[in-house]
Amino acid sequence: MIPRDTAVANNRPLQNLIAALNAHGCQPRETGTRRWMALCPAHDDHNPSLSIYVDEWGSLTVRCFAGCATMRVVQELGLRMSDVFPPEARREAFRRRRENGEPHTAHPSRVYPTSEEAIRAVEQSAWGGEHATNTYVYEDSQRQPTIMVLRRDLPGGHKDIRPISRTPEGWVRRMPQPPWPIYRLPDVESANLHELVIVTEGEKAAEAAIRCGIPATTSAGGAKAAEKTSWAPLRDRDVVILPDHDLAGYEYAETVAALCIEADAHSVRIVRLADHIPGFPEGGDIADLLAHETWYGLRVNGTDDPRALGEIIKKWASQTNPWTPPEAEGIPEWRPFPVDALPEPIARFTRQVSSSIGADPALVVFPILAALGRSI
């Protein structure tokens, strides 16, 4: 149901969008004042990453936190941009803002002097004043914060992610231009070069790996945005990727593995937790493993020291073959078709035809052999 307040009552663009999302099985849910989250139709989305916000003037902001373009989202729903962002609605919103002395820019474009003010603005507009469950800070090499990712856990295991970033003018409610730093960049750079570095899908999982006594990192922006991050700090490192136990997680792992190889990592291994833990839940990650009462049967002698789990993961990594790009795997050597092995009339005909049309002899002889075989 769409709430009936002044911003959304009879809001045709919003009704168009919600109806299309429902029709495509995207499960839109109200998560706050004039705020909805839904599965994004433009990528393989398992955790809702599409945000819909209606400002006080009734204008929509549609954003996929995995990085999908708004136009593509709208097109995947079978809508036109004018169905969701009609020109007359934008003009009316601008007129009302002007009459009320409001800036003509959307809320995410405002600049806040401090990160605290930007966080309060996000919490007020996105979550009705409710606080973020966690705030994850991305820093540069000088430990200066550049990105903050605000996470609010929602009922049903869902989450809402809101980024803010630092600009020369102040803090804004959006991601900066790529490339982005990896999570815990200064800690990765200062770690022993011979020590494993864990890469997870998401900051919560990275923090769990760190509790296990292993340097860990991840990338911002969700599973589909790994290429927007600079993986150069992993050069000469032994990298172990612990993906979420689902298709998106495994695709993320393959993407990150290729990016780490491109960044000249010393070695890259992908360790799938489900390969070592029977019955590991769909979508589970190292944070779920660490939170489980018995670590899914891995806890021995009653120990509750997460570093014991870290040693188990290191053992799994040592038993896993290094990842290699698909194109680097053995490609069969090309060999010419053995025309000389054919009976002379067929061999002579094959040579003449392949020479006259400039084709490989195999393309000529295969239809001949098929016809002969059928005749026999």
Per-domain boundaries in the chain: 12-104, 109-172, 190-328, 339-375
66: helix, coil or strand? coil
> φ, ψ for residue 160 (rounded to 5)?
-125, 125
Q: Under a CB-based contact definition with an 8 Å cutoff, are residues 34 and 9 in contact?
A: no
Q: Which class for 273: exposed (0-12), middle (13-18), buried (19 or more C-beta within 10 A)? A: buried
Tokens in use for 26?
A: 């995207």
pLDDT of residue 335: 73
Q: How many helices (H) and strands (E) does the chain have?
A: 12, 12
DSSP state of 263: T
pLDDT of residue 188: 97
Q: Under a CB-based contact definition with an 8 Å cutoff, are residues 118 and 172 in contact?
A: yes
DSSP state of 229: B
Question: For 188, left (φ over 0), alpha (ψ -120 to 50), or beta?
Answer: alpha
Tell me the residue ranges of DSSP E strands in the chain. Answer: 29-32, 35-38, 50-54, 60-64, 134-139, 145-153, 159-166, 171-172, 197-200, 216-217, 238-242, 267-270
pLDDT of residue 128: 83
Specify the DSSP element, H or E, that contains 364.
helix 361-375
Give the type of residue at 92. E
pLDDT of residue 65: 79
Tokens 């009704």 — which residue? Answer: 15
CA distances in angstroms from 153 to 10, 118, 166, listed in the order given = 30, 19, 24
Tokens in use for 68?
A: 């999908």
The CATH number given to 190-328 is: 3.40.1360.10
pLDDT of residue 105: 46
Tens of each residue's pLDDT in the chain, 376 residues: 344 465 677 788 898 999 999 999 999 998 877 888 999 999 888 888 898 988 777 788 888 877 787 888 998 999 888 888 776 655 555 555 555 554 444 444 689 999 999 999 999 888 888 899 999 999 999 999 999 999 998 887 788 899 999 999 999 999 999 999 999 999 999 999 999 999 999 999 999 999 999 999 999 988 889 999 999 999 999 999 999 999 999 999 999 999 999 999 999 999 999 999 999 999 999 999 999 999 999 987 778 899 999 999 999 999 999 998 876 555 566 677 888 888 888 888 888 887 777 778 888 888 888 888 888 8
Alpha carbons 141 and 190: distance in angstroms, whole number: 10
**Among 15, 7, 10, which residue's Cα sits nearest to residue 34?**
7
Do the bridges between strand 134-139 and strand 60-64 make them parallel or antiparallel, or are there none, so unpaired?
A: unpaired
Alpha carbons 109 and 6: distance in angstroms, whole number: 24
Tokens in use for 364?
A: 């000529």
Q: CA angle, corner 231, sides to 227 and 235, nearest 5?
A: 145
Work out the number of other CB atoms within 10 angstroms of the CB of residue 231: 24
CA distances in angstroms from 167 to 112, 146, 170, listed in the order given = 10, 8, 5
pLDDT of residue 72: 85
Residues in a beta bridge with 139: 145
